[in-house]
């Protein structure tokens, strides 16, 4: 993300420079030569610098991002400065693929100031100079962020406001948000959203938000909506752009360049392996190169990469798919599982408790024999009871989790003797979460109702406690006796029991609807490339996109998150085979 931080030391010395982390300020030399060749600093002075910082791209040509994408971003910024209608761009992509660097480099080329916030930002009004010491008042990060937005929203860096350089103060600036204040807690999140909306409505400078909270290359719309109000996020003044990880040729080009600069030789194999291990994370690749290149590391001339590479974090669906499809492979004449069940749940980003619910919910579809399924459910039930033994409820229960995970992880592999044919399946969030939430709501409603009924007759004090007997005994009859009191509050089971034939249809419609919704979400997540429609409206397909069921084949491609890189370059290999998620027959 912030691989381009030659200005990092500058930032740290802040109070005196009053937070102008403008790219120009920190790299005056590169301004002139921005469009020509790279000017690297003297080797002697940069001996100790990390290569990531030393070889930060100085021009857009060196960027490891698709040129088309760079051009789009450049156009957007130009438009934004001209019309002042485009206010916000969200760059989405996994960490280390050069999102912030792109913005900084472009700003540099376009002669713009980059204003960015970090946690040590303190607005000028809060700092007072007393002789040589600077006393800084404590402010919360979110307040400081608000002040930053207010200052920078004027479109000028605060330093130039102070009037040192009047000619330069006419230079435009762009706001780059990489680091955000701590947003835990509803209140903070709400304030942040308000702040952003407010900022968007009055800011003169275009704002770029870097969002790298992604899993396997994709973000969850919810996460983004937590930061920015959906009405703003999906309005025409905002656009969301996905940056893809570096492809193999791109990364090779960069690594080659670095090798040439440092006059060291690396084998083709190492480069390829670097790309494979990094999964397109250019920062990671460069760091590893520095470690492994002979001469620069204490361990000279190592040909292969030490260590296990990046720990791949499996997305929920990936992990579940592994466990549920329970692929086996041949090894030494024996058929063994193609994965390690213990590892898989450990690596997934859900906890074991939620994973268990997911597994149990989706297992049914993978079985054909009820006896197998019964065994599986027995094991899930075992795992569930391992997770909440009442005697341990107050103390540490986590020591049981590995056991539960182990049981749950092996369940399908062990019990499913007659698996269902492989086909595409949709993984959705288990309904049980919805059920539990609705139950809480209903419980509350029932309770209110109970109180209302009892209100006329306190002596029986039905008004206190939540007797389940009210739900099972009183309520059903109450519906008959005093329908006016009850019906507006709660839907009841009669709607279904009354007309059994109708009910099944009704339920099927319901599941169909859910399926359609899910398809729509899938399409929104995976298929709609935010770039192809160009209008920046890629995030609003809920209405526009047809919600028809796509043939499985289409989804196969859509789920492969590297799909469009592959199209550009058929030779490139996605670092992570999506073999699990989708299997067609």
Partner 1 sequence: MLWVDKHRPSSLTALSYHGSISQRLESLAQKPESLPHLFFYGPSGSGKRTRITALLGAIFGSSANRLKLDQRTFTTPTGRTVEIHMVTSPHHVELSPGDAGNNDRFVIQDVLKELAATKNIRSSVANMDKDSQQADAAAEIKVVVLNQVDRLSKQAQAALRRTMEKYAATCRLILCCDNPSKLIAPLRSRCLGIRVPAPSITEIVGVLNAVAQKENLTLSDAFAEKLAKESNRNLRKALLMLEAAKVQAGGNQLGADQILPSTDWELYISQLAQDITNEQSPSRLMAAREKLYELLVNCIPATTILKKLTGELISSLDDSLKLEVLEWAAFYEHRIAMGSKEIFHLEAFVAKFMAIYKKYLNDMFADDF
CB neighbour class for 257 (10 Å; exposed up to 12, middle 13-18, buried from 19): middle
Give residues with Cβ within 8 angstroms of 256, minimum separation 6.
Answer: 271
Q: How far is the CB of 380 from partner 1 (least distance, A)?
A: 5
Q: Name which of residues 347 to 366 contact partner 1 (CB under 8 A).
A: 356, 360, 364-365
Report the residue from 389, 422, 423, 553 that binds partner 1 according to the rule CB under 8 A.
389
The reply on whether position 432 binds partner 1 by CB under 8 A is yes
Q: Give the binding range for partner 1 (CB under 8 A) out of 199-207, 279-287, 297-305, 472-480.
A: 472-480
First to last CA, the chain: 40
Judged by CB under 8 A, the residue of 480, 488, 571, 585 near partner 1 is 480
Q: How far is the CB of 196 from partner 1 (least distance, A)?
A: 32
Is residue 463 at the binding interface for partner 1, with CB under 8 A as the rule?
A: yes
Q: Phi and psi dihedrals of 540, rounded to 5?
A: -115, 40
Q: Which of 161, 464, 502, 554 binds partner 1 (CB under 8 A)?
A: 464
Q: Is residue 368 a contact residue for partner 1 (CB under 8 A)? A: yes
Given 134, 481, 502, 554, the residue binding partner 1 (CB under 8 A)? 481
Residues 6+ apart with CB under 8 A from 323: 339, 341, 344, 345, 359, 408, 409, 411, 412, 413
Nearest to partner 1 of 303, 431 (CB atom): 431
| 390-409 binders of partner 1 (CB under 8 A) | 390, 394
429 touching partner 1, by CB under 8 A: no
**Cα pseudo-dihedral 139, 140, 146, 149, rounded to 10:** 80
Taking CB under 8 A as the criterion, the residue among 39, 182, 398, 468 binding partner 1 is 468
x-marked contacts with partner 1 along 308-347 as a string, rule CB under 8 A: ----------------------------------------
Segment interacting with partner 1, rule: CB under 8 A, options 55-63, 101-109, 119-127, 490-498: 490-498
**Please, are residues 239 and 545 in contact by the beta-carbon 8 Å criterion?**
no
Taking alpha carbons only, the member of 281, 198, 293, 271 closest to residue 244 is 281
Q: Of 41, 378, 512, 584, which lies in the binding site for partner 1, with binding defined by CB under 8 A? A: 378
Interatomic CA distance for residues 508 and 515, integer angstroms = 10
**466 by DSSP, 3-state: which?**
coil
Per-residue buried b or exposed e for 47-71, using 16+ beta carbons within 10 Å of the residue's own CB: eeeebbbbbbbbbbebbbbbeebbe
Q: Measured between alpha carbons, how far is 28 from 221 in angstroms, rounded to an integer?
A: 39
At 285, list the tokens.
């690749």
> Footprint of partner 1 on residues 504-543 (CB under 8 A)?
507
Query: Which tokens go with 452?
Result: 């209302």
Return the range that interacts with partner 1 (CB under 8 A); candidates 88-96, 148-156, 283-291, 443-451: 443-451
Kindly tell me which residue out of 471, 518, 537, 547 binds partner 1, with binding defined by CB under 8 A: 471
At closest approach, how far in Å is the CB of 447 from partner 1?
9
Determine the interface stretch with partner 1 among 104-112, 256-264, 453-461, 576-584 (rule: CB under 8 A). 453-461
What's the closest the beta carbon of residue 560 comes to partner 1, in angstroms? Answer: 29
Q: Which residues have C-beta within 8 Å of that of residue 460, sequence separation ≥ 6?
A: 454
Minimum distance of partner 1 from residue 366's CB (angstroms): 8
Q: Which of 399, 477 has the CB closer to partner 1?
A: 477
Closer of 344 and 462 to partner 1 (Cβ)? 462
Interatomic CA distance for residues 202 and 151, integer angstroms: 12
Binding residue for partner 1 (CB under 8 A) from 298, 488, 500, 570? Answer: 500
Window of 44-52, 270-278, 295-303, 384-392 that interacts with partner 1 by CB under 8 A: 384-392
Residue span binding partner 1 (CB under 8 A) among the ranges 53-61, 210-218, 334-342, 431-439: 431-439
411-423 residues labelled b (16+ CB within 10 A) or e (exposed): bbbbbbeebeeee
HSE, CB side, 13 Å, CA atoms: give it for residue 162: 12
Q: How many residues bind partner 1 (CB under 8 A)?
A: 71
On whether the CB atoms of residues 199 and 207 are closer than 8 A, the answer is yes
Tell me which residue of 580, 563, 522, 561 sits closest to 214, measured CA to CA.
561
Cβ proximity to partner 1: between 66 and 453 the closer is 453
Which runs of E-coded beta strand occur in 201-348?
A: 207-211, 238-242, 328-331, 334-337
- The DSSP secondary-structure symbol of 211 reads E
CB atoms within 10 A of CB 504: 11
Query: Could you tell me if 575 and 310 are in contact, meaning their C-beta atoms sit under 8 angstroms apart?
Result: no
Q: Is the Cβ of residue 25 or residue 360 nearer to partner 1 in the bound state?
A: 360
**Which residue's CB is nearer to partner 1, number 302 or number 381?**
381
Least distance (Å) from partner 1 to the CB of residue 525? 25
The window from 14-22, 230-238, 256-264, 388-396 that contacts partner 1 (CB under 8 A) reads 388-396
Nearer to partner 1, 391 or 585 (CB): 391
The residue from 422, 439, 506, 553 that contacts partner 1 (CB under 8 A) is 439
Query: Of 51, 145, 446, 530, which one interacts with partner 1 (CB under 8 A)?
Result: 446
Q: How far is the CB of 270 from partner 1 (least distance, A)?
A: 49
Q: Considering only residues 114-153, where is the footprint of partner 1 by CB under 8 A?
A: none
Decide if residue 304 touches partner 1 (CB under 8 A).
Answer: no
Helix, strand, or coil here: 312?
Answer: coil
Cα torsion through 387, 389, 394, 398, rounded to 10: -30
Of 265-273, 294-302, 467-475, 564-572, which part binds partner 1 (CB under 8 A)?
Answer: 467-475
């Amino acid at each position: 993300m912030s691989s381009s931080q030659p200005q990092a030391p500058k930032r740290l010395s802040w109070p005196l420079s009053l937070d102008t982390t403008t790219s120009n300020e920190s790299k005056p030399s590169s301004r002139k030569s921005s469009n020509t060749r790279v000017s690297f600093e003297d080797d002697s002075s940069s001996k100790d610098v990390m290569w990531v910082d030393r070889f930060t791209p100085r021009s857009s040509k060196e960027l490891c991002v698709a040129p088309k994408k760079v051009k789009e971003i450049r156009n957007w910024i130009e438009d934004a400065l001209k019309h002042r209608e485009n206010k916000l761009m969200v760059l989405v992509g996994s960490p280390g693929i050069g999102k912030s660097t792109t913005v900084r480099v472009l700003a540099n080329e376009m002669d713009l100031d980059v204003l960015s916030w970090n946690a040590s930002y303190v607005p000028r009004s809060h700092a007072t100079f007393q002789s040589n010491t600077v006393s800084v008042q404590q402010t919360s990060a979110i307040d400081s962020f608000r002040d930053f937005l207010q200052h920078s929203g004027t479109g000028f860096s605060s330093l130039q406001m102070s009037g040192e350089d009047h000619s330069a103060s006419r230079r435009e600036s762009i706001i780059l948000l990489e680091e955000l204040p701590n947003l835990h807690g509803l209140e903070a999140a709400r304030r942040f959203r308000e702040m952003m909306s407010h900022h968007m409505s009055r800011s003169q400078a275009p704002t770029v938000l870097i969002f790298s909270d992604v899993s396997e290359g994709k973000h969850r719309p919810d996460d983004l909506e937590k930061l920015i109000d959906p009405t703003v996020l999906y309005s025409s003044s905002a656009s969301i752009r996905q940056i893809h990880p570096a492809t193999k040729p791109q990364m090779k080009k960069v690594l080659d360049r670095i090798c040439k600069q440092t006059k060291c030789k690396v084998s083709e194999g190492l480069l390829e392996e670097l790309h494979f291990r990094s999964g397109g994370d250019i920062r990671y690749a460069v760091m590893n190169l520095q470690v492994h290149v002979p001469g620069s590391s204490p361990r000279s001339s190592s040909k292969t990469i030490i260590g296990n590479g990046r720990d791949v974090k499996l997305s929920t669906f990936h992990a579940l798919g592994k466990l549920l499809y329970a692929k086996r492979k041949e090894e030494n004449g024996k058929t063994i599982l193609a994965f390690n069940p213990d590892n898989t749940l450990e690596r997934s980003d859900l906890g074991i408790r939620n994973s268990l619910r997911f597994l149990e919910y989706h297992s049914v579809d993978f079985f054909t024999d009820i006896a197998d399924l019964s065994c599986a459910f027995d094991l899930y039930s075992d795992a569930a009871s391992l997770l909440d033994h009442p005697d341990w409820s107050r103390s540490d229960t986590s020591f049981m989790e590995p056991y539960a995970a182990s049981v749950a992880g092996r369940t399908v592999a062990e019990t499913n003797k007659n698996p269902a044919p492989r086909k595409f399946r949709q993984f959705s969030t288990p309904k049980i979460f919805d059920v539990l939430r609705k139950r809480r709501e209903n419980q509350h409603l029932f309770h209110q109702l109970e109180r209302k009924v009892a209100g006329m007759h306190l002596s029986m004090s039905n008004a206190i406690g939540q007797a389940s007997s009210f739900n099972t005994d009183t309520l059903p009859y109450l519906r008959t006796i005093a329908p006016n009191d009850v019906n507006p509050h709660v839907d009841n089971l009669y709607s279904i029991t009354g007309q059994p034939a109708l009910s099944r249809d009704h339920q099927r419609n319901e599941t169909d609807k859910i399926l359609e919704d899910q398809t729509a979400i899938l399409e929104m997540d995976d298929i709609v490339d935010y770039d192809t429609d160009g209008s920046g409206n890629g995030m609003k397909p809920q209405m526009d996109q047809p919600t028809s069921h796509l043939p499985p084949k289409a989804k196969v491609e859509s789920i492969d998150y590297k799909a469009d890189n592959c199209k550009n370059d058929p030779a490139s290999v996605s670092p992570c085979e999506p073999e699990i998620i989708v299997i067609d027959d």
